[in-house]
Each structure stands twice: as structure tokens, then as C-alpha cells.
Amino acid sequence: MRVGFASDHAGFELKEKLKKWAEKQGHEVVDFGADGTEPVDYPDFAHLAAVNKDSWERLALICGSGIGMSIAANRHTCIRCALVTSNEHARLARQHNNANAIAMGQRFTNFPQAESYLKTFLETKFEGGRHQKRVKKINKI
């Protein structure tokens, strides 16, 4: 699977660890930055990943809290990003919401947690059925 990654400076270290983990699992990694810990603006990287939707199948966004990245990404109609703070969130984001992106906060998520959330997110399938009509309603406005 092609997995996109983007972060700001506050999520850079966790992003780099998750990229290495994903590569070891056999995933193709696409990195949209940031490239270090110098302060940058998270919307720039969320938007860059979103407008390049054709280059990834799932997306992981990391900033300090995960909130800013998820808000910025969800401004794009092609993105359904869930802020994930548990494996249950990661599972339900896929099963019920057909999320194609997750956001995590480096300040609140350690690497073993983030690895587990990402693994769950990548392995879980969308259930469709009754959830499909709900997902279709998301971009009606």
C-alpha cells in the first residue's frame, strides 16, 4: 500500500519513526515534509498531502496535537481525516467512516501507540452497507 506522511516540526520525529516502520512492513512511503524540527506551518503540509491525493492510498498526519493537521486536511473534499487517540478510533475511522487519513499528536502519542494506531488503520477495511450512505452525506454541504 502507498502510505503518505506529512508533519510539521512538532510531529517530525514521530513521522520519521512511522515512515521507517511502514517501510519495514512493505508499504511504499510518500513523504510530504516537513524535513526537520525548524518551525513551519502545519497547514502547508496538510494541504500539500491533500492536493497530491493520487500519490497515496492512506495518509498519516502528525503535528503537536494532531488537531491542526486534521482540521486543515478536512478542508479538502477528497480527505476524510480522523484524529486518532486509540486503536478503537483507528478501527472505527476505517470501518464506519471510510477515513483515508489519520492525524496524531506527537505531544500526546508515543511511538508504540502511534505504530499500533497506524497498523490498525492500515489493516482495517471499510464495512460499507449502512455506513456508505452516511459517508456520501459528508460532502453534501
Catalytic residues: 63, 96
* 69 burial via Cβ count (<10 Å: 0-12, 13-18, 19+): buried
Q: In what order do the strands lie in the sheet with 101-105?
A: 28-31, 2-7, 58-63, 101-105, 81-83
CA angle 52–138–59, rounded 5-degree value: 30
Q: What are phi and psi of 2, to 5 degrees?
A: -90, 120
HSE-CB at 131 with a 13 A cutoff on CA atoms is 12
Distance CA 69, CA 33 (A): 13
Distance CA 22, CA 106 (A): 17
